[in-house]
Structure 1
Amino acid sequence: MVFEELALGLNFSPLLSSTANKGDSLMTTQKETTSKAPTHTVYVVKLKDGADEPDWIKVGAAWEHGDKDGLNLSLTILGQAVPVTSRRNKPKTD
């Protein structure tokens, strides 16, 4: 099974929402990128006993948000594509 074919078919827009808490936005929507190709590859780095170099196992792909403050990831876990969104931490204002 080729992971990129699975990842490109996912729609991350349902994962994005806007929630207000005392006027602060906890999660925001981002601009769509024009490229459908992933901007990053996600790996698990597994140390091997007695080996000089670890194994880098590809487990997914990621697309950078248009505002450069986050990533949409599609991870393959137990044969299932799992969407994950990561956003940069911003300082809280009182």
Structure 2
Amino acid sequence: MGDRKEPIELPPAPVRHALAVAARAAGVDPEQVTLLGYEAVTWPDAALGAPEPGRLYAQVLTPGYRVHLRVDGRAMTYHTDQGQRVVPAR
């Protein structure tokens, strides 16, 4: 009875996907990526707060996450939607 452990709550799937994308981009194992924090956001358009010059984006409110990570000793931020789209913050 005294050995009960609290269940570990996994971050949402888009946040976990951002960790995998960051690891792949850095060429490291996902275990080497540290999740520093994340917050739910509503992006003002489909650019997820990180528009690429010259691209057009749907002008729709897009729910997602701002994900703060540490990769190879560097702090990084990625933006996601609620699915599989992940982009580095600009």
TM-score bin (small chain): 0.3 to 0.5
What's the TM-score once normalised by structure 1's chain length?
0.35
What's the TM-score once normalised by structure 2's chain length?
0.36
Looking at both structures, which has the greater relative contact order when contacts are Cα pairs under 8 Å and sequence separation is at least 6?
A: 2
Name the larger-Rg structure.
Answer: 1
